[in-house]
Structure 1
């Protein structure tokens, strides 16, 4: 893991867009998390990752991870519950 970034404005924009897209009857893990934990408790983190295997180096910038804040949950690690990841 080379970098983890949190941008509150980007996170809120992506959350709202995700929730709007699924409001018409679709579903997603992120939308479900928003419904379960509340919009203010779900965040998007952008990650940069490098993998050095053998003679090949590869990097992945902007890989996204979604987490929900719920410190009382048995599923939480340090208060955060992993929801999903990807672009």
Structure 2
């Protein structure tokens, strides 16, 4: 878990270690810290999606963050967008 945290701190634009760190924090019971980091990871994904064509992992990362924030409607929307891209992976 600490390496995901270090990776996200080293490059906050990289959502991969960020979402994994946030999920680990949530599962370990540190919800306060997890919730504090969600906006940064979400911003990283959305910024990447503006720079490049969104891929499956972009749409799979966003619902994970939405579920942590208890935004289930938002999570469902992103899962539907991820579904057709899953075949490509």
TM range (shorter): 0.3 to 0.5
More helix by share: 2
Higher strand share: 1
| CA radius of gyration, larger in | 1
**TM-score with structure 2 setting the length:** 0.32
